[in-house]
Amino acid sequence: MSPSHDSVSVAVIGGGPAGLMAAEALVRRGVRVDVYDAMPSVGRKFLMAGKGGMNITHAEPLTPFLGRYGARREQIAPLLGAFGPDALRAWLTELGVSTFVGSSGRVFPTDMKAAPMLRAWLHRLKETGVRFHMRHKWTGWDSDAQSPGTPKHVLRFTTTGDDGEHHVTADAVVFALGGGSWPRLGSDAAWVPLMQARGVSIAPLLPSNCGFDADWSVYFRERFAGQPVKPVAISAIDIDKKVHYRKGEFISTETGIEGSLVYALSSVIRDRLLADGEVVIHLDLAPAHSAERVADEVTRPRGSRSMSTHLHGRLGISGVKAGLLRECLSKEAFADTHILAHAIKALPLRLTRARPIDEAISSAGGIPFEALDAHLMLQQIPGAFCAGEMLDWEAPTGGYLLTACFASGLVAGQGAADYVRAPASTPE
């Protein structure tokens, strides 16, 4: 059976927040838009991320907000200049979604849910003429069908059902295919070799906002897996020997540690693991107390009380925190009050591996900004724009990931609109 063939103005490939925002930017500029996604419905990872409460952005000032993007701050800044956290909240209000700022500065929809927001957004997109094509997996460009010298893109899709293969000719295309995390929801990184075949450089995809293995003993794993460790602080040294210190909480898992505090330092820990094979972080199990206070309490005479009872009564250290001390210290070290006091404020924990990328909340790596122009168009492939997590950047959880996905989608969509509406050059 020969493949079916359509002709569209701009094809948006990927139905996550970046792709949908690109579609909105395009249709608002009067461009005909078709959205293609390999899954049966759009926004699956977006909906999954919102199950625990839809953290859409963050209310902190722009300077520290930009600092969350680390080495890519300079490249993310103009994107947020076009559509930053305040603009995102205003856009949500326009969509009929009210928001509030939580105690941590995180911004949520009033109902805390992702599904109503996505339904309202999709309704508006469809009302303005955006067409959606589900179960369409992009498999590359059709070089055989590409006319020599044409600026158009002949895109190849495989489809489920009786359709088989489908070809689409587009004046421009916006790729918003995600990174390598959560492949069962569509972000399977199958686009990487397709882009590389066209000469696009790709930074290796790595887990971000991920957990790490600590190789617990059987006793600790069986006794404390799944328990939160709070309040606590982590200090970690990056590959440039800079110390990073964060307070918060994390979860002790069967294999190691994960949770918001770990995610905030995941890039530092991951890069050290890549460089050195293992990394030692330090836990402050009593972040509310000074080292002097801890030393005074640990060395205070305790009479007939056990050290465990003493630590619980004087410093509130019990349960999983006490378990961590015994897991990471020898019996002799635990019995030495000076060593123990120091360990409470700086307990060394050896981490051996990052968890696999398909378990990570997000991924780092992808298409470098150096391969793109200011409108996020690939310099190697005119008329091909990229947005979202397939670009080479990362950020911690807290609304930073979604904000940059929305912003990059808007910029790529506007760039594609300008591209297809620009007057064709005439030969001299």
pLDDT in the model for residue 160:
77
Mean pLDDT, the chain cut into blocks of 10 residues (428 residues total): 67 97 97 96 90 91 95 97 97 96 95 95 97 96 62 89 82 97 90 96 97 97 97 97 96 97 96 96 97 96 92 96 97 95 98 96 97 97 97 96 98 97 55
Asked if 214 and 350 count as a contact pair (C-beta separation under 8 A), the reply is: yes
Contacts with 204 (C-beta within 8 Å, 6 or more apart), sequence order = 365
Concatenating the DSSP letter of every residue in 52-87 gives G----EE-S-HHHHHHTTGGGHHHHHHHHHHS-HHH
pLDDT in the model for residue 147:
52
C-alpha–C-alpha distance, residues 55 and 63, integer Å: 20
Residue 74: Cβ-neighbour burial (10 angstroms; 0-12, 13-18, 19+): exposed
DSSP state of 200: -
C-alpha–C-alpha distance, residues 161 and 40, integer Å: 12
Residue of 31, 268, 210, 37 whose CA lies nearest to 129:
31
Residues of the chain with CATH 3.50.50.60: 4-206+364-421
C-alpha–C-alpha distance, residues 256 and 349, integer Å: 10
Residue 70: Cβ-neighbour burial (10 angstroms; 0-12, 13-18, 19+): middle
pLDDT in the model for residue 227:
97
Contacts with 426 (C-beta within 8 Å, 6 or more apart), sequence order = none
pLDDT in the model for residue 426:
37
Asked if 210 and 263 count as a contact pair (C-beta separation under 8 A), the reply is: yes
Asked if 320 and 226 count as a contact pair (C-beta separation under 8 A), the reply is: no
Residue of 121, 125, 65 whose CA lies nearest to 95:
121
Secondary structure (3-state) at 337: helix
Backbone angles phi, psi at 341, to 5 degrees: -60, -40
In CATH, what is the architecture of 4-206+364-421?
3-Layer(bba) Sandwich (3.50)
Asked if 192 and 392 count as a contact pair (C-beta separation under 8 A), the reply is: no
Backbone angles phi, psi at 306, to 5 degrees: -70, 160
Indicate the pTM of the whole model. Answer: 0.92
pLDDT in the model for residue 146:
52
pLDDT in the model for residue 428:
37
pLDDT in the model for residue 184:
87
Residues linked to residue 236 through DSSP beta bridges, in sequence order: 244
Asked if 367 and 386 count as a contact pair (C-beta separation under 8 A), the reply is: yes
CA-CA-CA-CA torsion for 336, 338, 343, 344, nearest 10 degrees? 110
Strands 165-175 and 384-386: parallel
Please give the structure tokens belonging to residue 387. 């947005």
